[in-house]
Amino acid sequence: MKVILIRHGETTANRKGIFSGHLDAKLTEKGKEQAINCRNRIVNLKIDYVFSSDLSRAVDTAKIVIESRNLDIEEKSGLREMNFGEWEGCKYDEIGEKYPDEFNVWSKDTLNIPCLNGESRRTFYFRVIKEYKELINRFDYTNKDKNKTIAIFAHSGVVRSILSSEIIGDIDGYWKFEIDNCSVNILEYDEKGFCYAKKINSLEKI
């Protein structure tokens, strides 16, 4: 069984350089073009099921990429980006200015200390992995579903979390992966459930 992990296209928040976890930032025109490019790159790749974060930037990317396919999109709130709480919509430097005490504590241990009224990276990671495991465990990928392909449209932190869990085995690999807008990573599970990974170059057609 294959799982295709696709990050959404560029958003207004990406362009402004602001924290956008649960903030529902929209795709820019460039983001829509990236999604079209992604669609063209994976046009020959069979997809059987589509899942997406319920935030519009992921759903809209999914709609563009699977436009010509007769597939439904199942939206999952558990695939949302990390919740940055009070820091949503702020630039990194602005957070230190507006919330100096909380920012100082958080910046010393972003893994375990939550954003103000938001999530810690550890809490976020386990939330994503719980959702991901529940999702793929709906399929018998060692037997009858072994030839199925699932596409998941989500966010950089979500893709990092899944790759870290499936390739490294825990959260320690989180920052080892560079996840660009509309980047494509493929996980493949064999009959024993062992996972192989492949990152698709931004110009590579599958």
Residue bearing the bigger pLDDT, 8 or 146 = 8
pTM of the model: 0.94
Kindly name the residue from 8, 88, 119, 131 that is annotated as catalytic.
8
Task: Specify whether 88 is catalytic.
Answer: no
Query: Is 10 annotated as belonging to a binding site?
Result: yes
Q: Which is the catalytic residue, given 67, 81, 102, 134?
A: 81
Q: Is 7 annotated as a binding residue?
A: yes
Q: Is the pLDDT of residue 205 over 70?
A: no
Please give the radius of gyration of the chain, using alpha carbons only, rounded to the nearest integer: 17
> Catalytic: 166?
no
Give pLDDT tens digits for 126-135: 999 999 999 9
Give the SS3 label for residue 190: coil
Of 28, 32, 33, the C-alpha closest to 16 is: 28
- 46 with 188: CB under 8 angstroms? no
Q: Confirm if 198 and 42 have CB atoms less than 8 A apart.
A: no
Q: What is the pLDDT of residues 29-85, one digit of tens each?
A: 999 999 999 999 999 999 999 999 999 999 999 999 999 899 999 999 999 999 999
Q: List beta partners, residue 154.
A: 7
Q: Which domains does the chain have, with CATH numbers?
A: 2-85+119-200 (3.40.50.1240)
pLDDT reported for residue 202: 63
Determine whether the annotation assigns residue 102 to a binding site: no
